[in-house]
Copies of this chain bind each other. A is one copy, B any other.
Amino acid sequence: MGVILPSAVLVVGSLGLDSLRTPAGSVDETLGGSASYFSLAASLYTDVRLVATVGTDFPTHHRALLEKPTIDLGGLEISPDKTFRWSGMYGNDLNVAQTLDLQLNCFADFHPRLPDHYRESEYLFIANIQPSLQLEVLRQAKQARLVAVDSRDLWIEQERDAFTEVLRHAHLVLLNDAEVRQYSGEQNVIAAARHLLTLGPKAVVVKKGEHGALLFGPDDAVFAIPAYPHAQVADPTGAGDSFAGALMGYLASTNNLTESALRRAVVHGSAVASFTVEAFGVDRLQRLTMPEIRNRYAALRQLTYVEEEPD
């Protein structure tokens, strides 16, 4: 048996300051952005290389949360402009965030630039930035063995063709159920996900919030995992990005892309996301430990366990 050499994960996404209000409380200008949640989750599994931009006003104590031996900030661009800010509110339906305020600031002119030592990265996650920027990233990361991409309603509406081009180069796509329906024009999520599989990706993960997640692979393979049954959720922000971070971190750490590894990766994603939503922002994620993740992994297995039927 050979020794498994873990790979690093490269992530391109946003860093920002989030002001959040949910039925459980509120918080002002906390560390936010897809790359924050992704990096903190993935760095529990393997080394992370981050590409993002912040302004000179980005607080030192937020940066400190990302300054870990396992996170390479060599691709973090400091812009003379201000940092990206998002203010959002969740009502009783925690699946839907209402945007109260959005200031793109330095993120408006962002063009991701990969440092030379990032370019041979084998595991690449491109968060829900504009599809045209996602294509710029793809042109700089030619060695990627696993390209995973996310998107959002706005890009699917405004840059559908560019996103279709992104899909042609992606191995794995992670979207929520509304986005999968929106892109494919199919109300049935199973049919919608299978449509995406015909456009390039080898696998599709559909994130359904409180209803869990679905993994679609070749040959009609489907894996389904319910969400961890929380009686209370503090803040759903970052659930999807920390899900992706744990999933990609797990795959890169094991260097295994079999279907059974993908299933385990989705359970890791669900486990970590279930911790993320227990507190505001990255609070829970930044103090999460691997033994806690392993316990929740076991709890998620137990959640769906049923005996075989005797013949």
The residues of A with any CB-CB pair to B shorter than 8 Å are 92-94, 187-191, 194, 208, 210-212, 214, 222-226, 229-233, 260, 263-264, 266-267, 294, 297-298, 301, 303-309, 311
A93, A208, A210, A226: most-surrounded residue (chain B CB, <10 A)? A226
Partner of A229 from the list B214, B301, B307, B308 (CB cut-off 8 Å) is B214
CB-CB < 8 A to A212: which residues of B? 211, 224, 226
Does A229 contact B224, Cβ atoms closer than 8 Å? yes
Count identical subunits in the complex: 2
Does A233 contact B188, Cβ atoms closer than 8 Å? yes
A263 to B308, CA, bound (A): 11
A214 to B229, CA, bound (A): 9
Partner of A231 from the list B190, B298, B309, B311 (CB cut-off 8 Å) is B190
A260 to B309, CA, bound (A): 11
CB-CB < 8 A to A94: which residues of B? 187
A189 to B212, CA, bound (A): 13
A224 to B270, CA, bound (A): 14
A208 to B223, CA, bound (A): 18
Does A224 contact B223, Cβ atoms closer than 8 Å? no
| Shortest distance from the beta carbon of A215 to any chain B beta carbon, whole Å | 10
| Shortest distance from the beta carbon of A66 to any chain B beta carbon, whole Å | 27
CB-CB < 8 A to A208: which residues of B? 211
Of all chain B residues, the one with the shortest Cβ separation from A291 is B311
Of all chain B residues, the one with the shortest Cβ separation from A91 is B187
